[in-house]
Amino acid sequence: MTTTEHPLAARREEAVTERVLASFDQSPDPRLREVMHSLVRHLHAFARDVRLSEAEWGTAIEFLTRAGHITDERRQEFILLSDVLGLSMLTVAINEQDAQGATEATVFGPFFVDDAPEAPLGGNLARGATGTPFYVSGRVRSVDGTPIDGARVDVWGADDDGYYDVQYDGDRSAGRGWLRTDPDGGYRFWTVLPAPYPIPHDGPVGDLLAAAGRGPMRPAHLHFKVAAPGHRTLITHIFVAGDPYLDRDAVFGVKDSLVVEPAHHPAGPAPDGTHPRGDWTSMTFDLVLAPDDHH
C-alpha cells in the first residue's frame, strides 16, 4: 500500500518533513539554508520512495559508522563512497568550466598527500616504486596557447603491483612528487608505468560493491594536480590506452580525451640523455588550464 492510498499516513509523513524544513528557516547563512532545505527534501523523498524500513536505516547507520572507523590520515573511506556512487564525478562535472581546449578534469581520489617531496625538472619520482621506467613530458599552457612558467605540477601514481606508497607500512614517498614548469611551460619527469588496481575493498565500500555485483578495479592511470596563478587548479589523470578496465572504472573517472597510448622503447638513450638499462616507456601530454574567472 502506498501513502496515496492512506491520506492520513501521507499527511503524517509530510508533517515531519515540513517541521524539519522549518527548523532551518532562520539560518543566518542563506547558502546553508538552501542546501539543507534541498537535502532534507530529497532525503525524505528517498525514504518515502523506497519505503525505508527501520532495520534498513539501522544497517545504513552501521555502514556509515564503519566508514568512519576505518578512515584515518592514510585512508578516506568517505571519498571512496563518494567515488563509487558517482558523486565525485558529478561534482567535478558541475564545477568544471566550459573553457574550450582545457584539459578535462576527473576525480581527485583518496591517495593525494600534502607533503610530497619536491623534484627537480626531469627528476625521478619513482624512488623505489617497482615497475617499468616511464618518462612523462609535455607543456602546461593556457587555453590561448600561452606557456605557463612556474606552474606547480603534483604527480602521484601506483606501482607495478597496483599500490600507492601510502598503502605500504612506513613513511616512504615513492611514485609521487611535485615540480615546477620551465619558462616554456615544459614539465618532465621519470616515474613507473602505472598498473590497474582495485580501490581499497576490505571495508564497507568494498562490501557495498560486492553486494551490488560490481568490481573494485580502476584502469591504470597517473594523477596530476596542476596549479598556477590566474588559472583554475586542474585535477586530472592520464589513462593508459588498452587497459582492460577503461570501460568499467569503479569510480567512473575515465574520459576519452585523457586516454593516451604510451610508447615502448628497448634499452637505450632517452630524451633526457640517460640510458635506461632495460625496456622503458614514454608519454607526451600537454596540460591546458582554464582561466580563473574569480582571479
What's residue 265's pLDDT?
97
What's residue 5's pLDDT?
63
Q: What is the set of domains in the chain, with CATH numbers? A: 3-52 (no CATH), 81-289 (2.60.130.10)
What's residue 114's pLDDT?
87
What's residue 63's pLDDT?
98
Cβ burial of 186 (10 Å; 0-12, 13-18, 19+) is: middle
Long-range contacts of 268-275 (CB under 8 A, 24+ apart): 270/135, 271/135, 271/137, 271/188, 272/122, 272/135, 272/188
50 forms bridges with which residues in the sheet?
Answer: none
Distance between CA atoms of residues 109 and 177, nearest Å: 16
SS3 content of the chain, % helix, strand, coil (to 5): 30, 20, 45
The cell for 144 is 590561448
Nearest to 121 by CA among 221, 190, 222: 190
Low-confidence ranges of the chain (pLDDT < 50): none
The cell for 40 is 532534507
- In this structure, the strands spanning 176-180 and 234-240 are unpaired
What's residue 294's pLDDT?
63
